[in-house]
Amino acid sequence: MARRNKIYEGKAKVLYEGPEPGTLVQYFKDDATANNAEKRDVVDGKGVLNNRLSEFFMTGLGNIGVPTHFIKRLNMREQLIRQVEVIPLEVIVRNYAAGSMAKRLGLEEGTRLPRPLVEYSYKEDALGDPLVPEEYILAFGWATQQDLDDILSLALRVNDFMSGVMHGVGIRLVDFKIEVGRLWDGDYMRLVVADEISPDSCRLWDVETGQKLDKDVFRRDLGNLTDAYTEVARRLGVIPANSAHPKPTLIN
Ligand code: TMP
């Protein structure tokens, strides 16, 4: 049997060469890391849930005309994606103060922000993904002003979509991170949402109780991460309402 080519291995995913040029297979691992991989563990079932949830969000975005790298889900842990040139930025959108922003500004977590705020971190694990101003992004050539205008507009569209979908199932979208890639079509380039959208990269709080249903459960030792992600998947109808765990019900 032919062995496929591994292109890249990150903390939570592996990228393999795809079946056709310009495609990749994205494999979701069960590994969870926090604080720039200082804290790490294997969380049974996380990869399966994130594969399904990312498929759900990326498909929904595609349906409303927001371009993404997603082509189709292949199986429980893998999806086919378009190969893009990833811009080395973590694009963070915040609706409520939490995490590093709450700390930096001394704000109480959960404080509603005057409007959605978009900020950028430079994607470099060795430096702990430092927050960077637009000035740096332009000066170091990581993106152009036109890219930044397009990234802002993409990020706000993703925010509107995700906030609405989550609100519909009683979940508050506190903040999230996306990555953006360049997709070439001949001489033309467009920016698309890449990587993943899942509870690993969002803060999701139950509207009624404030219960955390995202990776903070792992970062802050608040309970079982798979249970939290299963709850999100169940509410969204991504897995059956009576499913306690993704394994028995997700055959493919
Ligand atoms: P922060 O409060 O730690 O800056 O994170 C803001 C949001 O962005 C939160 O939902 C987690 C997400 N995020 C990632 O998924 N990966 C990252 O590397 C960073 C910096 C943030």
pLDDT for residue 248: 40
Question: Quick check: 107 pLDDT over 60?
Answer: yes
Residue 16 counted as domain residue: yes
Q: What is the mean pLDDT of the chain?
A: 95
Q: Are residues 66 and 116 in the same domain?
A: no
Q: Answer for the pair 171, 213: CB distance below 8 angstroms, yes or no.
A: yes
- What is the pLDDT confidence band of residue 12, given thresholds at 50, 70 and 90? very high
Gap between the Cα atoms of 231 and 214, Å rounded: 10
Indicate if 170 and 104 belong to the same structural domain: yes
What's the CATH number where 49 sits?
3.30.200.20
User: What pLDDT, on the 0 to 100 scale, is given for residue 243?
Assistant: 73
Domain range for 76 = 6-83+225-236
Residue 211 lies in a domain: no
Residue 98 CA to ligand 1 center (angstroms) comes to 10
How many domains does the structure of the chain reveal? 2
**% residues pLDDT > 90 (the chain):** 91
The closest-lying atom of ligand 1 relative to the alpha carbon of residue 176 is 10
Ligand 1 atom nearest the C-alpha of 174 is 10
Q: Where are the beta strands (DSSP E) in 97-235?
A: 112-122, 131-132, 171-185, 188-194, 202-206
Asked whether residue 99 falls in the same domain as residue 150, the answer is yes
Do residue 102 and residue 200 come from a single domain? yes
Do 50 and 140 lie in one domain? The reply is: no
Q: Over range 182-193, report the average pLDDT.
A: 94
Sort residue 109 into left (φ over 0), alpha (ψ -120 to 50) or beta. beta
**CA distances (Å), origin 237, targets 168, 230, 243, 245:** 12, 10, 10, 14
Mean pLDDT (whole number) for 13-33: 97
| Domain CATH number, residue 138 | 3.30.470.20
Q: What is the pTM of this model?
A: 0.95
For 136-167, the pLDDT digits (tens) are: 999 999 999 999 999 999 999 999 999 999 99
> Which of 58, 119, 87 lies closest to 190 in space, CA to CA?
87
Q: Are residues 121 and 44 in the same domain?
A: no
Task: Assess if residue 250 is contained within a domain.
Answer: no
Tell me the CA end-to-end span of the chain in Å, nearest whole number.
22
Q: Is the CB of 176 under 6 A from ligand 1?
A: yes
| Domain identity same for 149 and 183 | yes
Tell me the C-alpha distance between 174 and 96, whole Å. 5
Q: Cα(128) to centroid of ligand 1, in Å? A: 11
Q: What confidence tens digit (pLDDT) does each residue in 197-237 have?
A: 999 999 999 999 999 999 999 999 999 999 999 999 999 99
Measure 164 CA to ligand 1 centroid, in angstroms: 20
Using a 6 Å cutoff on CB, does residue 77 contact ligand 1? no
- Which residues, at least 6 apart from 189, have a Cβ–Cβ distance to it below 8 Å? 182, 183
Q: Looking at ligand 1, which residue's alpha carbon is closest to its atom 16?
A: 201
Shared domain for 13 and 25, answered yes or no, is: yes
Looking at the domain assignment, is residue 242 inside a domain? no
Q: Whose CA is nearest to atom 2 of ligand 1?
A: 99
Query: Per residue in 40-55, is it b (16+ CB within 10 Å) or e — as a string?
Result: eeebebbbbbbbbbbb
Q: Which atom of ligand 1 is nearest to the CA of 123?
A: 18
Q: Is the CB of residue 195 below 6 angstroms from any atom belonging to ligand 1?
A: no
> At CA 118, angle to CA 114 and CA 120, rounded to 5?
145
Q: How confident is the model at residue 37 (pLDDT cuts 50, 70, 90)?
A: confident
Is the pLDDT score of 15 beyond 80? yes
- Give backbone dihedrals phi and psi of 44, rounded to 5 degrees, phi first: -55, 120
72 and 104 fall within a common domain: no
Asked if residue 196 has its Cβ within 6 Å of ligand 1, the reply is: no
CA angle 70, 216, 113 (to 5 degrees): 85
What is the structure's pLDDT at 10?
94
CA 177 to ligand 1 center in whole angstroms = 6
Q: Which of 20-29, 217-226, 240-249 has the lowest mean pLDDT?
A: 240-249
Same-domain pairing of 69 and 133: no
